Structure 1
Amino acid sequence: MTDDDSRNERPSLRRIGRLFRPYRRRLFLVLALIVASAALSTVSPFLLRAVLDRAIPQRDVWLLTWLVLGMIAVPVVTSAAEVWQSWLSNTVGQRVMHDLRTGVYRHLQRMSLAFFTRTRTGEVQSRLANDIGGVQNVLTSTITSTVGNVTTVIAAVVAMIALDWRLAVLSLALLPVFVALARRVGAERKAIRRRNQQQLAAMSALVEESLSVSGILLGKTLGRSSVLTDRFAAESDRLSGLQVDAVMAGRWRMSAVTITYAVLPAVVYWVAGLSLAHGGTLVSIGTLVAFTTLQTRLFRPLVSLLGVGVEVQTSLALFGRVFEYLDLPVDLAPGPRSLPAVRGEVALHDVRFSYDPDGGAAALAGIDLTVPAGSTLAVVGATGSGKTTLGYLVARLYDVTGGAVTIDGVDVRELDTASLTGAVGVVSQETYLFHASVAENLRFAKADATDEELVAACRAARIHEQIAALPDGYQTVVGERGYRFSGGEKQRIAIARMLLRNPPILILDEATSALDTRTERDVQRALDTLAEGRTTIAIAHRLSTIRHADRIVVLDGGRVAESGTHDELIAAGDRYAALAAA
């Protein structure tokens, strides 16, 4: 591993450590249990030496009994401590994982719409599920087991030196070589793990896109189901190869470590036997048995520590991907101001906006508009003229590149989240319903809405009769994205939901453009009910829906080309008249 890699890891390790701060009291208790268990486990070899060198040769039954009872008590006490420690460490680890998951989810909720338009949903899901799930072992057990293994190794080394320092030097001579090998294996597996997680994200994105209702419909109607299957098989095959690489990376080197420590007790017996064969007295039989017992106990935590080093290095790749999302700059940070009472006046002051952060082509350029409280502004224009963008800026789904959007004279960038979302409601062409009951979808707008309020809102939206006719009524599950209902029915459910929310400012983003004429009339009546007494900005595709607006503006190339009432614009005979004729 290069020095650059090490420098990049150190901040991550400190940051991972900070995740445990809220649980430091429990961790201190875990560490105390670990130290006590490790220290207690080194007592058994000394008891064994006393049994072999004193109690049995001297035929001291009383001493033998107490030594044996001690040898029985040690594993009982250490096992109980390990169970308690395991429960505590797993509890802390799961709480940290919970904090990570909710932290990433909360942070993503604060991101602008721009982030989600350029990021695949499957990629986001993979970060939340696969990446955070991948560090579970490190968070729940690896860190505490590392401390336990370190303590056990230190205690065992001290005890080995106390028994015979010469045999201890012989047993530990190769340790630096093994540590270096483990670090190299860890670096290899870290790189493979990052590629593995990227491949998992690609698979998640493919599953999200192709196995959704829309994806299945597209694949079946275009006869491309077999192509999608082949694409998934190719992604899965690449993932399988990476999984094998991850498992086999450094396997032979780590096996060499295992073999070496497995044969060391035999080497110790051989050295002791040579010493005795040449008339020397290297150690007593009791010391020799006690030492090899310690040596065997040293092997398991030592190899585990080498493996932990590999696991931690590998997990750094996953933590890096999680922290990448947590470190994303929030480009729509809420402001400090609130609006206790909203009149509903909306104004755009020299508004400019570009979807390209590097200052590419402008979607809006120099828009100046004022929508008095309680009035209706209709926005029309050709595709790509900036109609939807204008509505999104009022709702602050994006921030203006230049100029300002104000509500009752307050810049929307200065408003806190509650004031802004309480003031502005959006009904778009693409209605989104959760895979839940009709009632749950409606209460997403107002959690404490009564059944009577749900019915009243649905009556106003002209959808109550259709819902009531269903076998389960308002408890009917709508299906993924609301596929249980037609487009017009979903739109009216969305209107009922917005009526429950009751915002003083309403953005209607081509809410009827995808409907047939008859359904459009039903939905338009519901929209008229919704718009009563509110400031309404209606982005229209069909001009018949906005004839009676207080003011109509025509956008062309991101600029206001015309402005006036329906009759005034028809009389002018310019762009609006051409659109109406078309």
Structure 2
Amino acid sequence: MENKIDDLEDDYEALSARHVSLKRIVALFKPWRHRFLVVGILILIGAGIGIIAPFLLREIIDQALPQQDLTLLMYLVVGLVAITVGVAVINVLQTILSTKIGQAIMHELRVRLYSHLQTLSLSFFIRTRTGEIQSRIANDIGGLQSVVSNTITEMARNMTIVVTTAIAMLLLDWRLALFSFVVLPPSLWLSHYVGQKRERLTNQQQNGHADMSAIVQETLSAPGIILSRTLARGKFLTHRFEQASNKTLHLEVRAHTAGEWQWSMIEILLGALPAMTLLLGGLLIGQGLPVTIGTLVALIALQEQLLWPLENLLESGVKLRTTRALFARIFKYLDTVPEIIEPIKRQEISSSGSRGHIRFENVSYHYDAENTPNLRGLNLDIPIGSHIAVVGPTGAGKSTFGYLLARLVDPTAGRICIDGIDLREMHFEQLADVLGVVMQEPFLLNTTIAENLRFAQPEATDEELIEAAKTAQIHEHIASLPEGYQTVVGERGYRFSGGEKQRLALARTILRNPPILLLDEATSALDNVTESAISAALAQIAPDRTVISIAHRLSTVRHADRILVLKAGQLVESGTHDQLVALDGVYAELLRQGQKDRSQKDSV
């Protein structure tokens, strides 16, 4: 167990050293430097006013009270009250301003992180749990909010108070002041030790929160509940969550209590200082040295004014050390380099004439350099307005073909062109205007049907929504719902069947009206009647539109202009349905296997 903890600490040290620097953290505050300057001025004014109070107190004890000068006493008391009011007003203004600055910085950091995550490749999201990503945005940045909003300005204010108070103490009596400063070196060392210890634990603590977020996101979603109920694994999942929560509990306790005994030494040192100063002052007075009672009382008051900001300053230093772990986790994501990037120079695409000509030029792709490529040396020329089907056995590279065309991944070798332009020279918006994609498992936002459709075309009119829905053979079903197009689809569209979700996704893509349609098993959940109706509707809008269907069910591609047969990442056959049947090769074998599977299913 100890070795495992040591490994975690080594990993964290490497992580923080690689991603976090003081310069990088300070850069977050740079755009707000002018407002911070205003906060600094308010802090200086407040601290300057605050150190006047002990001097007024000395005058009350040494002058006004012994001489029974009521006029002087009244002026001094009014001065003390005015100082209290002034400091309170300045503190309120400083707190409001610093909180606004802190929240603005956190807002920009959240948006920056979210925006950067939008640019990362599909492989990043495949290997990273969604709950962990949510934890970085919510828990890690949330953990920084109080520090950035309050702690840093509190540190500046406390530092200013400590410095100005120390100067005032030296002016009152340099001997008692120097004696008071003896506690500073051990207090600073102990604070650094506690902060270093809690920093490492904070990284482990946030990892625990990420684990819990991932479990919640996976198991309390609609698919997770269906899986849990149908397999009666609710108790197991509860136990699993309990274990993760228990681990986080222990990490929370350790992160918040680590170094408590050392911190108690700081409190003892600071707490004993006034008593020891009174003893030293009494000894000095007893020896006839020029130390008045008023000076001693004023210095004790200054000590109190020194000790609480000093203790807060040390606590803030510990908090800052722990936030370094949060910055390390956030900056690690920000430093993740996107694999798919937009070109610097925008390649303009002609809007005149027909569009939709696709070329694969010696395209190869593999996920791992040591493994067999998923696609090898693929050369294709797909004319405008043609209907191409891509079929093949499991693992043939059909999905990879679709990912490459949609530029979810880039070819390892070769290039893919649309209308003569390499996909890597297109901006993402340009590609989305040219290519519409409907996946086998369509994703619907948890909002209304209308908003889901308008996600593809925000300016679409109601009439255009209805027309697209009619083409996708889903309008009549939508119209039969009590709220029609204002019906909320539910989490991941679970209020609708698989076929209905596919038709909604198809309508969404049709609404954008791209010259190329990529249908990746887009009708796999449809019955034969609906599938035929959609095929007929697509045929009506297909003139001058290139349609590429990636299919496992061969009945959906019989009427394609050309069928491409992939096997082990290579194009092994190409032709019409009749030509491939006559060839009696891979396609014919797939056809026979499909017929055999259907006959076995019918017999059951």
With structure 1 as the length reference, what TM-score do the two structures score? 0.96
Which residue number in structure 2 is paired with residue 61 of structure 1? Answer: 70
Which residue number in structure 2 is paired with residue 263 of structure 1? Answer: 272
| Alpha-carbon distance in structure 1 between the residues aligned to 2:41 and 2:445 | 48
What SS does structure 2 have at the residue aligned with 1:350? strand
Which residue number in structure 1 is paired with residue 261 of structure 2? Answer: 252
What are the residue-to-residue correspondences of 1:111-150 with 2, within 5 Å? 111-150=120-159
Picking from 398, 413, 424, the partner of 1:413 is 424
Which residue number in structure 2 is paired with residue 339 of structure 1? Answer: 349
**Contact persistence 2:183–2:270 (CA under 8 A):** no
Which residue number in structure 1 is paired with residue 3 of structure 2? Answer: none
Compared CA separation, residues 175 and 5, structure 1 to 2 (3 A): farther
What SS does structure 2 have at the residue aligned with 1:361? coil
Compared CA separation, residues 576 and 434, structure 1 to 2 (3 A): same
Q: Which amino acid aligns with 2:283?
A: L
| Alpha-carbon distance in structure 1 between the residues aligned to 2:258 and 2:540 | 66
What are the residue-to-residue correspondences of 1:168-187 with 2, within 5 Å? 168-187=177-196
Please identify, of 56-65 and 72-81, the stretch whose mean Cα deviation from structure 2 is larger: 56-65
Which residue number in structure 1 is paired with residue 596 of structure 2? Answer: none
The sequence identity of aligned pairs, in percent, is 49
Which residue number in structure 2 is paired with residue 577 of structure 1? Answer: 588
Compared CA separation, residues 153 and 575, structure 1 to 2 (3 A): same
**Contact persistence 2:228–2:234 (CA under 8 A):** yes
**Contact persistence 1:488–1:520 (CA under 8 A):** no
Which residue number in structure 1 is paired with residue 375 of structure 2? Answer: 364
| Alpha-carbon distance in structure 1 between the residues aligned to 2:231 and 2:541 | 39
Picking from 350, 361, 373, the partner of 2:362 is 350
State the 1:19 CA deviation. Answer: 0.6
| Alpha-carbon distance in structure 2 between the residues aligned to 1:493 and 1:380 | 24
Compared CA separation, residues 434 and 571, structure 1 to 2 (3 A): same
Compared CA separation, residues 10 and 431, structure 1 to 2 (3 A): closer
Which residue number in structure 1 is paired with residue 299 of structure 2? Answer: 291
**Contact persistence 2:20–2:327 (CA under 8 A):** no
**Contact persistence 1:491–1:523 (CA under 8 A):** no
Which residue number in structure 2 is paired with residue 380 of structure 1? Answer: 391
In structure 2, stretches of 5+ residues that fail to align are: 1-8, 594-604
Compared CA separation, residues 9 and 512, structure 1 to 2 (3 A): closer
| Alpha-carbon distance in structure 2 between the residues aligned to 1:258 and 1:444 | 59
**Contact persistence 1:199–1:239 (CA under 8 A):** yes
**Contact persistence 2:471–2:534 (CA under 8 A):** no
**Contact persistence 2:19–2:332 (CA under 8 A):** no
Which residue number in structure 1 is paired with residue 95 of structure 2? Answer: 86
**Contact persistence 2:434–2:514 (CA under 8 A):** yes
**Contact persistence 1:426–1:507 (CA under 8 A):** yes
State the 1:435 CA deviation. Answer: 0.8
| Alpha-carbon distance in structure 1 between the residues aligned to 2:415 and 2:183 | 69
State the 1:10 CA deviation. Answer: 10
| Alpha-carbon distance in structure 2 between the residues aligned to 1:299 and 1:575 | 83
Picking from 487, 498, 506, the partner of 1:495 is 506
| Alpha-carbon distance in structure 1 between the residues aligned to 2:398 and 2:135 | 34
| Alpha-carbon distance in structure 2 between the residues aligned to 1:34 and 1:525 | 74
Picking from 565, 579, 596, the partner of 1:568 is 579
Picking from 400, 403, 407, the partner of 1:389 is 400
Which residue number in structure 1 is paired with residue 602 of structure 2? Answer: none
Please identify, of 507-516 and 443-452, the stretch whose mean Cα deviation from structure 2 is larger: 507-516
Q: Which amino acid aligns with 2:179?
A: L
Q: Is 1:301 the counterpart of 2:309 in the alignment? A: yes
Picking from 423, 432, 438, the partner of 2:449 is 438
| Alpha-carbon distance in structure 2 between the residues aligned to 1:286 and 1:244 | 46
Which residue number in structure 1 is paired with residue 214 of structure 2? Answer: 205
State the 1:57 CA deviation. Answer: 2.2
| Alpha-carbon distance in structure 1 between the residues aligned to 2:568 and 2:142 | 47
Which residue number in structure 2 is paired with residue 105 of structure 1? Answer: 114
Compared CA separation, residues 5 and 308, structure 1 to 2 (3 A): farther
| Alpha-carbon distance in structure 1 between the residues aligned to 2:133 and 2:499 | 31
Q: Which amino acid aligns with 1:246?
A: A
Which residue number in structure 1 is paired with residue 58 of structure 2? Answer: 49
| Alpha-carbon distance in structure 2 between the residues aligned to 1:172 and 1:6 | 37
**Contact persistence 2:176–2:281 (CA under 8 A):** no
What SS does structure 1 have at the residue aligned with 2:264? helix
| Alpha-carbon distance in structure 2 between the residues aligned to 1:142 and 1:330 | 34
Which residue number in structure 1 is paired with residue 6 of structure 2? Answer: none
Q: Which amino acid aligns with 1:339?
A: I
What SS does structure 2 have at the residue aligned with 1:507? strand
Please identify, of 519-528 and 322-331, the stretch whose mean Cα deviation from structure 2 is larger: 519-528
State the 1:515 CA deviation. Answer: 3.5
**Contact persistence 1:423–1:503 (CA under 8 A):** yes
State the 1:269 CA deviation. Answer: 1.1
What SS does structure 1 have at the residue aligned with 2:437? strand
| Alpha-carbon distance in structure 2 between the residues aligned to 1:359 and 1:409 | 32
Compared CA separation, residues 580 and 326, structure 1 to 2 (3 A): same
Q: Which amino acid aligns with 1:506?
A: L
State the 1:551 CA deviation. Answer: 1.3
Which residue number in structure 1 is paired with residue 599 of structure 2? Answer: none
Question: 1:366-400, CA deviations, whole angstroms, 9 ceiling, x for partnerless residues?
Answer: 00001111111111100110011111101100011
State the 1:24 CA deviation. Answer: 1.4
Picking from 27, 35, 38, the partner of 2:36 is 27
Q: Which amino acid aligns with 1:550?
A: D
**Contact persistence 1:429–1:510 (CA under 8 A):** yes
Picking from 73, 76, 80, the partner of 2:82 is 73
**Contact persistence 1:12–1:319 (CA under 8 A):** no
State the 1:518 CA deviation. Answer: 3.9
Q: Which amino acid aligns with 1:184?
A: Y
Q: Number of aligned residue pairs: give it.
A: 579
Please identify, of 520-529 and 465-474, the stretch whose mean Cα deviation from structure 2 is larger: 520-529
| Alpha-carbon distance in structure 2 between the residues aligned to 1:107 and 1:70 | 55
| Alpha-carbon distance in structure 1 between the residues aligned to 2:332 and 2:280 | 54
Question: 1:274-333, CA deviations, whole angstroms, 9 ceiling, x for partnerless residues?
Answer: 333x44235111111110001001111101111111101100000000000111001111
Q: Which amino acid aligns with 1:117?
A: I
| Alpha-carbon distance in structure 2 between the residues aligned to 1:71 and 1:130 | 44
Which residue number in structure 1 is paired with residue 479 of structure 2? Answer: 468
Question: 1:112-151, CA deviations, whole angstroms, 9 ceiling, x for partnerless residues?
Answer: 1111111111111111111111111111111111111110
| Alpha-carbon distance in structure 2 between the residues aligned to 1:359 and 1:329 | 22
Which residue number in structure 1 is paired with residue 528 of structure 2? Answer: 517
What SS does structure 1 have at the residue aligned with 2:67? coil
Q: Which amino acid aligns with 1:505?
A: I
**Contact persistence 1:12–1:316 (CA under 8 A):** no
| Alpha-carbon distance in structure 2 between the residues aligned to 1:228 and 1:320 | 31
RMSD: 1.8
Compared CA separation, residues 246 and 499, structure 1 to 2 (3 A): same
Compared CA separation, residues 437 and 411, structure 1 to 2 (3 A): same
| Alpha-carbon distance in structure 1 between the residues aligned to 2:538 and 2:82 | 78
Please identify, of 11-20 and 160-169, the stretch whose mean Cα deviation from structure 2 is larger: 11-20
| Alpha-carbon distance in structure 1 between the residues aligned to 2:120 and 2:381 | 28
Compared CA separation, residues 5 and 82, structure 1 to 2 (3 A): farther
Compared CA separation, residues 98 and 183, structure 1 to 2 (3 A): same
State the 1:536 CA deviation. Answer: 1.4
| Alpha-carbon distance in structure 1 between the residues aligned to 2:117 and 2:444 | 20
What SS does structure 2 have at the residue aligned with 1:344? coil
State the 1:470 CA deviation. Answer: 0.8
